[in-house]
Structures are given as structure tokens and as C-alpha cells.
Amino acid sequence: MHLPKWAVGIGSLLIVAGGYGLYALHRENQSLYQEVERVSHLIQERPVELATFMASYERFLTKLHQAGAAENWPLAAFYHEELEETAEQLERLAILDDGIPVSAMMRPNLIEPLEAVERAIQAKDAASFHKALQEVVVRCNGCHVAAGKPYIRFSIPTTDQPPRQLFSKKADI
Ligand code: HEC
């Protein structure tokens, strides 16, 4: 077959362009691999990250309780949101900690019980607020048991006693 010169020209141009496209793809893959390698140590350091999350839960939970006890509802709404956002962030990270699907456990154990707290804040209902917050702490403790860490326990708050971590030994653990 005899092709006109212009067709040969376009044909080779296409081949060169295609070749360059593949090369660009290869380069992009390579830089993606490098990026994954650069950040993969973050994944190995996840346990540290998890404890950091928990430390903020403890802080936000205490402040949430205090704000509710003072019936300062805008402040309680602020800490409720901080707690909820941090919980959702941990959920999105899809963390498996020693085989425990910690992220998947966030919704039933923290995000859902926090919904009743939010409703109580919106209704400015102190009694429901305290009841809902007690349930949250029951779930915090429950999740620690489920995650094989039953020794991380919090006291169930009352209207004037904020939840606090219990350091005493418990007979059954
Ligand atoms: C999805 C399950 C889960 C939920 C819900 C949960 N935790 Fe934890 N928590 C863990 C796991 C797992 C660890 C151990 C982390 C590690 O191994 O570094 C932990 C560790 C902790 C620690 C020890 C780290 C520290 O800073 O001293 C505290 C405190 C803590 N959690 C508080 C809370 C509080 C308060 C709540 C509720 C508002 C809560 N956690 C809800 C799973 C959970």
C-alpha cells in the first residue's frame, strides 16, 4: 500500500505522541509510588495517632460535660461538634489496630450516642443532656472492652461530677 507523505507524517506523529503519553503515565506512576513510600511511615505510626485521638475525646468530653452542667448551650454545642468531628475523622481513617476495626466501631460507639446529646443541647434540656452523656461514657468504656483494653475506664458522670479516667484496679480485669 502506498500512503501519501502527509499520512505517513501524521501516522508517525501519532506514534510519537502515543509513546510520549505512555512515558508520561509511567513517570506519573513512579512519582505516585514515591509519594506512597514517603507517607507509608505515617500508617505504621497509627497507634500513636489513635491515642492522640483518644486524648482529645477525653478533653472534649470533660469540657462538654462542664458546659452542659453550666447550661451554657452554645458552648456545649461547640464541644459536641468538636467531639463528633474528631470521631468522624477517625472513622474515615479506616484504622485496624491489632486486628480491631477501631474506625468501623466509631459509629455505634460514639457517633450515634452523640446524636442524643445534640438533641438535648438543641432542646436546652439539662436532664436529657446528662442522661445522654452518661450513655456516651458507657459506650466509651464498652468500646475499650471490645478493643481488648478494659482497663481504660471512665467514671459515669453525674450533673456535677465530670467523667474522669479511673486508675484504681478492678477485680475482674
Ligand atoms: C471505637 C472504639 C473506641 C471508642 C468509641 C472510644 N475509644 Fe478510647 N480507645 C480505644 C482504643 C482501641 C484505645 C487504645 C489506643 C492505643 O492502643 O493507642 C483507646 C484509648 C483511650 C485512652 C488512652 C489514651 C490516653 O490518652 O490516655 C483514653 C483516655 C480514651 N481511649 C478515652 C476515650 C473516651 C473518653 C471515649 C469516649 C468519648 C473513647 N475513648 C471512645 C477505642 C475507643
Write out pLDDT tens, residues 44-87.
665 557 888 999 999 999 999 999 999 999 999 999 999 999 99
Cα distance between residue 139 and residue 57, in whole Å:
13
In a domain, 7, yes or no: yes
Mean pLDDT across the chain: 89
Q: pTM (2 decimals)? A: 0.79
Pocket flag, ligand 1, residue 110 (CB < 6 Å): yes
Q: Does one domain contain both 94 and 113?
A: yes
Q: Does one domain contain both 87 and 139?
A: yes
Least confident of 19-28, 63-72, 132-141: 19-28
Pocket flag, ligand 1, residue 114 (CB < 6 Å): no
Pocket flag, ligand 1, residue 47 (CB < 6 Å): yes
Instruction: Give the angle subtended at the CA of 112 by the CAs of 111 and 114, to the nearest 5°.
Output: 70
Cα distance between residue 62 and residue 57, in whole Å:
8
Quick check: 21 pLDDT over 60?
A: yes
Average pLDDT of 8-21? 76
Range of the domain at 21: 1-41
Q: Does one domain contain both 15 and 55?
A: no
In a domain, 18, yes or no: yes
Pocket flag, ligand 1, residue 90 (CB < 6 Å): no
Structural domains of the chain, count? 2
Q: Does one domain contain both 16 and 80?
A: no
Pocket flag, ligand 1, residue 117 (CB < 6 Å): no
The torsion region of residue 99 among left (phi > 0), alpha (psi -120 to 50) and beta comes to left
Ligand 1 centroid distance, CA of 84 (Å):
14
Average pLDDT of 93-111? 94
Is 162 in contact with 134 (CB distance < 8 Å)?
no
Pick from 56, 55, 75: which is nearest to 65 by CA?
A: 75
By most ligand atoms within 8 Å of CB, the mutation choice from 48, 140, 166 for ligand 1 is 140
Cα distance between residue 101 and residue 112, in whole Å:
17
Pocket flag, ligand 1, residue 138 (CB < 6 Å): no
In a domain, 57, yes or no: yes
The gap between the terminal CA atoms of the chain, to the nearest Å, is: 86
* Nearest alpha carbon, ligand 1 atom 41: 140
Higher pLDDT, 77 or 16: 77
Ligand 1 centroid distance, CA of 51 (Å):
7
Q: Does one domain contain both 82 and 159?
A: yes
pLDDT at 172: 62
Pick from 66, 89, 49, 55: which is nearest to 165 by CA?
A: 55
* Nearest alpha carbon, ligand 1 atom 3: 143
Average pLDDT of 102-109? 96
pLDDT at 125: 98
Cα distance between residue 17 and residue 30, in whole Å:
20
Quick check: 36 pLDDT over 90?
A: no
Q: Does one domain contain both 11 and 28?
A: yes
Quick check: 18 pLDDT over 90?
A: no
Is 147 in contact with 139 (CB distance < 8 Å)?
no
In a domain, 52, yes or no: yes
pLDDT at 7: 75
Q: Over pLDDT 90: what percentage of the chain?
A: 64
Q: Does one domain contain both 71 and 27?
A: no
pLDDT at 42: 65
